[in-house]
Amino acid sequence: MSPSPAADPFLEAYDAQLRSDAETPSARSVTRLGPLRLVTFAGGRGFVTYRDLGGVGAADVGDLVGAALDHYRADPEVTRVEWKTRGHDHAPGLAEALVAHGFTAEETESVVIGEATVVATDRRPPEGVSLRTVTAEADVRAMSALADRVFGDPVSDEMADALLRRLARRDGMELWVAETGGEMVGAGRLEPVEGTEFAGVWGGVVLESWRGRGIYLALTAVRAHSALRAGKRLLHSDSTEYSRPILERAGMRTVSTTTPYRWTR
């Protein structure tokens, strides 16, 4: 059983600080529907999140899901919607209602949180590998392409375009890469969350041929140092079963799970 927010200070901070407008700083628009925040991003992406379901029970949750989907169907620019669920929520009937309305569950990930001071060690990458931040468009596109390849996705411009828009806003996001011999072999983002104690560590990838050499841990440690310089006390991430053990080794711990449900027009 997942710990309750009252039993875990990390989870309590996560619910109180991140499940709000702070979760979606790049939103194009946000509409309130009961307990839900219906967010629309550039590029036709919808995103549903909430602090909790406000006591909505199994008998009514289907109507709530349907109303949220009607909101997005009314906007022809929205082509896909993610409904972000959390394992520690009290949400009877929600999974069944989402599936009934055409959403598909994706891989469950771990919500991992840790003290930045614990993660900010002096870990270094292996000899011959260097770490740096990138801002130039060519570097950002190379970093995005690396992540696509590592995750087994077709290389596309969508993520790179989104990252370039974020960089143009100067909201504190940092893009870190690991390089050797002019080749990017690893990467990760740091996303300080305005108005909170948190910074997110996202998009951590390392080429398969370079795994097991400490690159991921070094990228995590250097981002933790940057988080501290930005005045952030806590780090958080939604982690796959590949990255979770590494982040736990770095000093973070799993406090819950999150499962995205996706709908496509």
Whether 231 shows a pLDDT value over 90: the answer reads: yes
pLDDT in tens, 134-143: 999 999 999 9
What integer pLDDT is reported at residue 164 of this predicted model?
A: 94
- Rounded to whole angstroms, the maximal C-alpha distance in the chain is 59
Q: Mean pLDDT score of the chain, rounded to an integer?
A: 93
What integer pLDDT is reported at residue 26 of this predicted model?
A: 79
What integer pLDDT is reported at residue 189 of this predicted model?
A: 97
What's the rounded Cα separation, in Å, for the pair 82 and 24? 13
pLDDT in tens, 232-253: 999 999 999 999 999 999 999 9
Q: Does domain 5-110 have CATH number 3.40.630?
A: yes
Reference 191, options 225, 235, 157; nearest CA is: 235
What integer pLDDT is reported at residue 213 of this predicted model?
A: 95
Per-residue pLDDT, averaged over 167-190, amounts to 96
What integer pLDDT is reported at residue 4 of this predicted model?
A: 45
Per-residue pLDDT, averaged over 209-236, amounts to 97
Reference 65, options 80, 51, 53, 77; nearest CA is: 53
Per-residue pLDDT, averaged over 59-78, amounts to 96
Whether 1 shows a pLDDT value over 70: the answer reads: no
Residue extents of the structural domains in the chain: 5-110, 114-256
What integer pLDDT is reported at residue 5 of this predicted model?
A: 41
Torsion, Cα 117 123 125 131, to 10 degrees, reads 30
What's the rounded Cα separation, in Å, for the pair 191 and 173? 5
pLDDT band at 155 (very low <50, low <70, confident <90, very high): confident
- 3-class DSSP assignment, residue 86: strand
- Residue-level length of the chain: 265
pLDDT band at 151 (very low <50, low <70, confident <90, very high): confident
pTM to 2 decimals?
Answer: 0.89
pLDDT band at 150 (very low <50, low <70, confident <90, very high): very high
Q: Six-digit token pair at 69? A: 């989907």
The domain made up of 114-256 has a fold known as Aminopeptidase (3.40.630)
pLDDT band at 256 (very low <50, low <70, confident <90, very high): very high
pLDDT in tens, 24-37: 877 899 999 999 99
Per-residue pLDDT, averaged over 40-44, amounts to 90
